[in-house]
Amino acid sequence: MSDREIPTPLLQRLVEALERLAPSPAADTDLDAADAFVWHAEQARLQAVPKVNRVDLDLLRGIDRQRAVLFDNTRRFARGLPANNALLWGARGTGKSSLVKAVHARINEESPRALALVEVHREDLASLPRLLARLRGEIRRCLLFCDDLSFDGGDASYKSLKAVLEGGIEGRPDTVLFYATSNRRHLMPREMIENERSTAINPAESVEEKVSLSDRFGLWLGFHGLDQDAYASIVEGYARHYRLTLPAETLRAEAIAWARERGARSGRVAWQYIQDLAGRLGQPLG
């Protein structure tokens, strides 16, 4: 064997080592492969989600107005009619993200395959222009969804979001709509707004671009804490749906005590109580 020859087994090992260091990019998923996807910015691909973690729309109580408005807006979009980007803001655990996923599911129950839900993680907002380029030209209508959206000091990714909300030079595809949930109505903490105003040469202009970002959502829906009756109604609705047998007075008393221990009444707290109750009763939730 000459000095220039490399044994085949050694060559194969070298090739495999190089592939591990620089693997081939994962194949993108066809938009018709599922009803829901997660956008992976690093690989610039969509990953299909076979089963979405959600609750049925009829189980979401205490947010009747928000449910009706968002459902109507989403159905118009699915039918090819004008619709608004939506910001769902308010207290934690009040059903914001649950409502988005439940509305998407109900729309597709009415019109199968009408709408694809694409979740975009908060840290991947800067990649939104790439995602729009991926979706441009697609026939299927897509609802982009970002949960728990907010911005802190030095974060410039809001500029990518503006491109989605306003379209930029190319314009947002007609087949794309953007929904976001946030605990903040203006998507940035008050102290950050005040700090920007106090340190900027032109405070008004410095703050306006970030604060007005929320104004670029055509639809605002506020979610607030529940009163005791609304909270109890949510618990009772869950109990009926999952056939959890417990006397009504006991169910209400336990649910109220559960909320009192957590210092909050919300749909999330109600669901946590139901999970605890089902476990004690030995009944699966499915």
| Distance of alpha carbon 171 from alpha carbon 34, whole angstroms | 26
Q: What are phi and psi of 182, to 5 degrees?
A: -160, 150
Q: What per-residue confidence (pLDDT) applies to 15?
A: 62
Of 183 and 282, which is predicted with more confidence?
282
pLDDT score of 129 more than 80:
yes
CA-wise closest residue to 86 among 188, 167, 180: 180
Q: What per-residue confidence (pLDDT) applies to 161?
A: 78
- When mean pLDDT is compared across 140-149, 189-198, 205-214, the lowest value belongs to 189-198
| Distance of alpha carbon 267 from alpha carbon 63, whole angstroms | 10
Q: What per-residue confidence (pLDDT) applies to 177?
A: 94
Q: What per-residue confidence (pLDDT) applies to 200?
A: 47
What pLDDT digit, counting tens, does each position of 241-251 carry? 999 999 999 99
For residues 44-48, give the mean pLDDT. Answer: 93
Q: What per-residue confidence (pLDDT) applies to 149?
A: 87
Q: What per-residue confidence (pLDDT) applies to 27?
A: 54
- When mean pLDDT is compared across 14-23, 108-117, 260-269, 272-281, the lowest value belongs to 14-23
Q: What per-residue confidence (pLDDT) applies to 150?
A: 78
What pLDDT digit, counting tens, does each position of 165-192 carry? 776 666 678 899 999 999 877 776 555 4
What pLDDT digit, counting tens, does each position of 23-39 carry? 555 556 688 899 999 99
- 59 contacts 72 by C-beta, under 8 angstroms: no
pLDDT score of 217 more than 60:
yes
What pLDDT digit, counting tens, does each position of 262-277 carry? 998 999 999 999 999 9
SS3 labels along 215-275: HHCCEEEEECCCCHHHHHHHHHHHHHHCCCCCCHHHHHHHHHHHHHHHCCCCHHHHHHHHH
pLDDT score of 158 more than 90:
no
Q: What per-residue confidence (pLDDT) applies to 100?
A: 97
- 127 contacts 44 by C-beta, under 8 angstroms: yes
- 82 contacts 172 by C-beta, under 8 angstroms: no
Tokens of 7: 């044994």
Name residue 59's amino acid.
Answer: L
pLDDT score of 104 more than 70:
yes
What torsion do the CA atoms of 274, 69, 88, 135 make, to the nearest 10 degrees?
A: 110
- Please report which confidence band the pLDDT of residue 201 belongs to, taking 50, 70 and 90 as the band edges: very low
pLDDT score of 261 more than 50:
yes
CA-wise closest residue to 192 among 182, 184, 202: 184
By three-state DSSP, how is residue 146 classified? strand
> What DSSP designation does 25 have?
P
pLDDT score of 117 more than 80:
yes
pLDDT score of 18 more than 70:
no
Q: What per-residue confidence (pLDDT) applies to 62?
A: 85
Q: What per-residue confidence (pLDDT) applies to 154?
A: 64
What pLDDT digit, counting tens, does each position of 219-231 carry? 999 998 888 999 9
